[in-house]
Amino acid sequence: MKKLTLLFMLCLLGVIQGKAQKKIFNETEEQKEQRLAWWLNDRFGMFIHWGLYSMPARHEWIKNYERMSDADYQKYFDLYNPDLYNPREWARQAKAAGMKYAVITTKHHEGFCLFDSKYTDYKATNTPIKKDLIKEFVEAFRAEGLKVGFYYSLIDWHHPDFTIDRVHPQRVSDPSKYAELNKGRDMNKYREYLKNQLKELLTNYGKIDILWTDFSYPGEYGKGKDDWNSLELIKMIRKLQPGILINDRLDLGEYDDGGDFVTPEQYKVAEWPTRNGKKVHWETCQTFSGSWGYHRDENTWKDNKQLLVLLIETVSKGGNLLLNVGPTSRGLFDYRATQRLHDMGEWMQVNSRSIYGCTQAPEDIKTPDNSLLTYNPTTKRLYVHLLDYPLQRFELPGLKGKVKYAQFLHDGSEIKMKDGDKGSLALELPVIKPNVEIPVIELVLQ
Ligand code: GLC
């Protein structure tokens, strides 16, 4: 009896806590779904990490890793001249790969602004290239019909008022030294700078579809929502761009609507991520190799099949994939990236129907061995991605009598169906694997 009472109390507490989840805006669930509809449909975007760090070409955290001072780093600024920059070409490559949106670093942790900001001299217009690179980017990607997003680093290793903390290039091992080191640095001024720059980005470039802030690391000698003034920022952001999508890195996790989607980075999620037991929207960001910024000597590049599996598996768990390119300091995509984008595009050209508008398959449908399922709830079509091409007779458990028609997606050729064992549906596949990296079977459900 006592146990039951305790259980009841705990449940009640849970309910109360659930209800107590705070909200910043009064948008309804339906309104939110509406706002996110295009993004949930499109599933696949390009991340672009570009900045001064493309010159050392040893990772975008190079200033931190090598503990460089502003003076050490100045040479990159003085010589920055991406003379071959042609964002229209980038947009064409993204589009041909099947990507529907792109998010570019307007400023990364190094503090360098690719856009023309009134609030700093540390910007592209003051380098030899003398251009607002973001303006050209926005125009080019819009012209190719892609949606446009801005990555903006909350962190700034160049701003004189940004206090030195545990991830700063000038960090120290003895924490008692921070007070002395930070004398004269004023985070109030930095907060103002942040706000002003976000205002510029969301005012001067027309409609912006996504804002991707990066990142918070609360705790000792770290920074979080109060350091950025996140609550005030998110209100301003949504006011300036009511339709915008915002990621979850402003450290506003205590609010139900402190971000529109979660952002698992560089790892494979085991299942559809949840919060308080509820499935949440998510986008995984991933690199082709081990660096976001252009890295000349980094060789751990994923191959085409791994990348396709990454995309398919993400959608099979209800998520989006933001796949990164780090352009060179001349302004071109690295040949390795171009090759991979091209190969993914070849697959997408004939198989994208299993990606766009798709999500996790209904839970009562079992995934056959060595395959991944996606499902389009509008057209009621189920997609079986064959990661390891099976022998002729391929059985789909539990689907007997539930499928109207079966075909390969890449060429729309019929696959004959038969009743299989124990309620399964048996498909008669050709012996030879079709000439696509990962063949997809499209099942039209009853
Ligand atoms: C991390 C890194 C950064 C990269 C980002 C992408 O937060 O700081 O270099 O931009 O991940 O998600």
**334: CA distance to ligand 1 center in Å?**
19
Question: Alpha-carbon distance 356 to 437, whole Å?
Answer: 18
142 Cα–ligand 1 center, Å: 25
State the SS3 of 138-207.
HHHHHHCCCEEEEEEECCCCCCCCCCCCCCCCCCCCCHHHHHHHCCCCCHHHHHHHHHHHHHHHCCCCCC
Ligand 1 contacts (CB < 6 A) are: 49, 60-61, 214-215, 265, 285, 292
> In 10 A of CB 134, how many CB atoms?
25
Mutation pick for ligand 1 pocket among 104, 292, 322, 323 (CB with most ligand atoms within 8 Å): 292
What is the CA 388 to chain-centroid distance, rounded? Answer: 27
Residue 11: per-residue pLDDT: 47
Q: Hey, whose CA ends up nearest to atom 3 of ligand 1?
A: 292
Ligand 1: which atom is nearest the Cα of residue 153?
10
Give the number of the atom of ligand 1 that is nearest the alpha carbon of residue 49.
10
Cβ 288 vs Cβ 341: under 8 Å: no
Grouping H, G, I as helix, E, B as strand and the rest as coil, residue 32 is helix
CA 238 to centroid of ligand 1, rounded, Å: 23
How much is the pLDDT for 2? Answer: 54
Q: What is the pLDDT of residue 21?
A: 78
Smallest Cα–Cα separation from 43: which of 147, 171, 190?
147
What pLDDT is recorded for position 8? Answer: 55
Number of continuous H segments (helices) and E segments (strands) in the chain: 12, 16
Full set of structural domains in the chain with CATH = 6-354 (3.20.20.80), 371-445 (2.60.40.1180)
* Residue 295 CA, ligand 1 centroid: distance in Å: 14
CA 214 to ligand 1 centroid distance, Å: 7
Residue from 85, 92, 98 nearest 135 by CA: 85
Q: For residue 425, what are the β-bridge partners?
A: 396, 419
**Which of 214, 216, 321 most suits a substitution to test ligand 1, by most atoms within 8 Å of the C-beta?**
214
Sign (positive or negative) of CA dihedral 170, 187, 243, 30: positive
Gap between the Cα atoms of 356 and 155, Å rounded: 34
pLDDT in tens, the chain (446 residues): 455 555 555 545 554 454 557 999 999 999 999 999 999 999 999 999 999 999 999 999 999 999 999 999 999 999 999 999 999 999 999 999 999 999 999 999 999 999 999 999 999 999 999 999 999 999 999 999 999 999 999 999 999 999 999 999 999 999 999 999 999 999 999 999 999 999 999 999 999 999 999 999 999 999 999 999 999 999 999 999 999 999 999 999 999 999 999 999 998 899 999 999 999 999 999 999 999 999 999 999 999 999 999 999 999 999 999 999 999 999 999 999 999 999 999 999 999 999 999 999 999 999 999 999 999 999 999 999 999 999 989 999 999 999 999 999 999 999 999 999 999 999 999 999 999 999 999 999 99
CA–CA separation, 385 and 353 (whole Å): 12
CA–CA separation, 379 vs 26, rounded Å? 32
HSE at residue 385, side-chain half, CA atoms within 13 A, is 27
The DSSP letter of residue 22 is B
Q: What is the pLDDT of residue 116?
A: 98
In ligand 1, which atom is closest to the CA atom of 215? 7
